Structure 1
Amino acid sequence: MYYHLSYLGAPLSYLWLSTTPPALIREEMGRAWDMGARRMWIANAGDIKPAELQIDYFLSLAWDIEGTRAQPIETWVGQWAQDALGNGTGKQAAALLGDYYRLNFARRPEHLQWYLPGEKPHASPLTIAEADERLAGFAAMERRVAALRPLIPPARADAFFELLDYPLSASAAANRRFFAAEAHDALRDADPAESWRRARIAAEAQETLTALTRRYNREVPAGNGAGSWRSSPPTANGAASARACR
């Protein structure tokens, strides 16, 4: 059984953030097990980062599928987060990750553009109000990340940033950048003042993404110069990009 936790290829890759929900991994690998795929499982993760949780869950299923898939996803994720972050934060982290998967699997951060390579660019099918509702979900998630951040023990601060803070905050900024830019284009003639307000939001989101990714790639002590692969955000037009950090 060959399973993609990340993907490079047509029609669109997803290499930046790991947004495959553990519930989907359980469903699909459980089906494979039930149909007789019991000798070899291979996970394509692209790299260990940023798919630590997905890889761990995949391997837990492979080691003890009956015991692992019998656990509620929230229980497994909560214990995983507790082991990584400590200080009784597992339940809160699991709830946050649940929101992260719900929002991002509906549309992966790498796929915010609604057209395929080679096609004429076109806007998403979301109205401005629908996009704003989606962004409100991300904003609520960001507020909960900010509330959890002071509870993390200092020794686990880098782990918290890499495992939870960066993917949640960066995916929120990526959505804010994309949909604010779309709103700018849509409102340019009808409401110039609001259009330019949205343009500023998009520019600020780009700055946030740049700062977050610089910290992830260069400022976290364990990552600087470690020679591991580090993902980068999709470019401004939505195309996925990645780079090696050595």
Structure 2
Amino acid sequence: MSDGLVLDKVSIRFGRHVVMQGVDLRFGAGQVVGLVGPNGAGKSTLLGAVAGLVAHRGRITFNGQAIDPRAVGYMPQHAQVRAQLSVLEVVLLGRHERLGWRVDQEALAAAGRILASFGIADLASRAIHTLSGGQQQLVLLAQRLLREPRLLLLDEATSALDLAHQMQVFALLRVYVARTGALVMIAIHDLNLAARHADSVALLTRGGLAGAGRFDDVVTPAALRTVYGVEAEFLTCSAARPVILPIAPFHPVGTHADDPS
């Protein structure tokens, strides 16, 4: 499959520390991909490699070619803007390559529309540094979407948002994918969010890939025991999506919860 994102035997190491070894992944365009896994599994590092910011071995291509940075929208974890800029100015920077000395009315209108879609049009004139972490997260995501990248890479882009805004963001990402045919890859800690909103997932474990594909096929009770070290109950919600309820730490046969080893 040449269309979409392809990782071919990708390995990443920092000095002697191997973050991941020989990862093969293929995801077609026109979908939302959830990147899941425990802390330290390499989700942020993998997104950085795809964005061209982290050195790696192996090959990463998008639509059969080396990734063009101009086609990528990348939002790192804990992204913040400390400059003395208004919210509107920050969003307009998403089109900085196309802006001249003066910002035309079409660009202003597009920025206004995307702020309105996030429900934050009333913040347009506010200084970005005066906003809460969650509000800044919405503004920065609006900036990336204004650029209309074919490949959108988001690292915990909903981590500072409340439940309503998390649902709103995923709804907007779904509309964006349907309209543009883009591929969105988002690192998500909340497995229930991934179950509900991701078309596919990649489950990372320390050192590599534990599985990729449909959520139901990849995130199983056995995978949670192996990758996360927890026992969990799998329920089904009214939308026929799985709901994961962690129950207890998983202790393999022959070990005990109070065994210090």
Q: Same fold (TM over 0.5)?
A: no
Higher relative contact order (CA 8 A, sep 6+): 2
Which structure shows the bigger proportion of residues in helix conformation? Answer: 1
- Higher Cα Rg, which structure: 2
Q: Which has the higher strand share?
A: 2
Q: TM-score, normalised by structure 2?
A: 0.29
